[in-house]
Amino acid sequence: MSDRGWRGRLGPAVGIAPGARVDKFEIFFDLVFVFSFFNIARATAANIGDRQLLHALLVLAVLWWCWVAHTVVATRVRIGEGFVPVLMIAGMAALFCFALALPQAFMNSGGTEAGPVVVAISYVVIRAVHLALFLHAVRDDPVERRQLLRYAPEMSLSTALLLVAALLPGYLPDHMAAMVRDGLWISVVLLQYGTGLLARTWGWGVTSAEHWTERYDLILIIALGESVISIGLGSNLLGQPPTLPGVTAAVLGIVFSAAMWWIHYDVIGPAARIALHASQGRPRVLMARDAYAYLYLPMIAGILLFALGAEGIVHDIAQPGVPISKPAYGPDVPLLFSGVLCYLAGNMLFQWRTLRTLSWLRLGTVVLLGLGIPIAMPLPGLLALGVLAVILVGMIVIEVVVMSEGRHALRAAVFEERTAHEAAEAAYRARWHENPPDSHP
């Protein structure tokens, strides 16, 4: 690359090495997704209904597709190196505007369409940044450039549909405008994920399995962190004096978040990382797409639903003067249980796709969660939380006992891998003692 121009002065884009890890700028970029997840929860919690939940899931699906496009770009170039951060900051600004306007994304036009228009334009900018970076990454390979053009219909149509969804309903009666806007958003989601399935391995690969798995594991932790924030801030635990029922409910909220962390990161996540490392070529790409790009979405959607239900229950429990025997309000218990059920079912599908195994204990827990919804609905909120805690903690305790040998074998394999990797790094860096690198800039 020439040293002329701003790209030359900032430095070239750096490719991804086979053993690359997530860099600091990628974690910085994720901060905007923290706000995005939080704002989806806030907008939905303000008025929970069937249509509001549909809107939340549609927005989450479109937001997640932006994330998938971002990670595909990050398989080719380092997001935090050379001139790339400049473009990514523009993408962050667009994503932040996208998140700010999410609560108005489906508003019926009452003389203004500012929210839907901001969402659509921000989405166009985000996708344009990803396209520019990917075009730069494949600029020297005409075959890959042609393969990239196969994604052009999805990118063009999805952005066009969002713009139409922002502008067209303003010219329609309100009852028709809502249906048209919902239909257009559903079309966008079907187009995006359908194209991903049809595209298969067009024009991309996973050079570093370590980078890919770590990237997705971090975003799942971010979603779990958002659930903690929603329970604390959304339920107004900080805005009133602590009470014993409120503190108990808050502790149970942490137990649930920790249980969902354990469900994935104790065994399934580390084993899946090894499985992706062991695969190569087209099988690796398909596993990365199916297990991570697609099956993480139901897990994150489950976390969102769980957070909405837990927030509502904890809010009522923590309210001073509210009888502790009062049953949970409206959809809170179904959201709580169905959110955990969705998360666990998504994780089981992830396990099947990566490891080709299935846990009958977890399958039984899914059935138990489904049966527990009508049982827990008439119960006091604190008792409903307790029932869910018993189910999740009981499943984890049984798994720890039954899978003890397998868990130890997995940890031994991971420890051996890390030891060998760190020994190779130490041997490489030992050369610095003999020939120290130039300390001058």
What digits encode the pLDDT tens for the residues 388-431?
999 999 999 999 999 999 899 999 988 888 888 788 888 888 87
- Whether 71 and 45 share a structural domain: yes
- Whether 254 and 175 share a structural domain: no
- Whether 197 and 212 share a structural domain: no
Q: What is the DSSP string of 16-34?
A: PPTT----HHHHHHHHHHH
Is 435 inside a domain boundary? no
Is 14 inside a domain boundary? yes
What digits encode the pLDDT tens for the residues 280-332?
888 999 999 999 999 999 999 999 999 999 888 888 887 777 677 778 778 99
- Whether 218 and 200 share a structural domain: no
- Looking at per-residue pLDDT, the higher value among 113 and 227 belongs to 227
- Whether 106 and 182 share a structural domain: yes
- Whether 196 and 220 share a structural domain: no
- Full domain range(s) for residue 102: 1-204
- Domain limit, last residue, from 204, 234, 261: 204
Least confident of 114-128, 372-386, 427-441: 427-441
Model confidence at 72: pLDDT above 50: yes
Is 169 inside a domain boundary? yes
Question: What letters, b where the CB count within 10 A reaches 16 and e where it falls short, cover 179-195?
Answer: eebbebbebbbebbbeb
Give first-to-last CA distance, the chain, whole Å.
21
- Whether 53 and 123 share a structural domain: yes
Is 196 inside a domain boundary? yes
- Domain limit, last residue, from 204, 237, 252: 204
- Whether 405 and 280 share a structural domain: yes
Q: How far is CA 143 from CA 138, 139, 146, 148, in A?
A: 9, 10, 5, 9
Model confidence at 2: pLDDT above 50: no
Q: What is the pTM of this model?
A: 0.90
What digits encode the pLDDT tens for the residues 243-291?
788 788 888 888 999 999 999 999 999 999 999 999 988 899 999 999 9
> How many separate domains does the chain show?
2
- Whether 185 and 305 share a structural domain: no
324's enclosing H/E stretch is none
Is 97 inside a domain boundary? yes
- Whether 221 and 153 share a structural domain: no
- Whether 159 and 246 share a structural domain: no
Radius of gyration (C-alpha) of the chain in whole angstroms:
23
% of the chain surpassing 90 pLDDT? 36
* The dihedral formed by the CA atoms of 192, 198, 201 and 205, expressed in degrees to the nearest 10: 10
Is 440 inside a domain boundary? no
Model confidence at 242: pLDDT above 80: no
- Domain limit, last residue, from 171, 204, 237: 204
Is 249 inside a domain boundary? yes
Q: Supply angle C-alpha 307, 308, 310, rounded to 5.
A: 60
- Whether 8 and 157 share a structural domain: yes
pLDDT band at 201 (very low <50, low <70, confident <90, very high): low
172, 165 contact by CB (below 8 A): no
Is 439 inside a domain boundary? no
Spatial distance between the Cα atoms of 404 and 95, rounded to a whole number of angstroms? 43
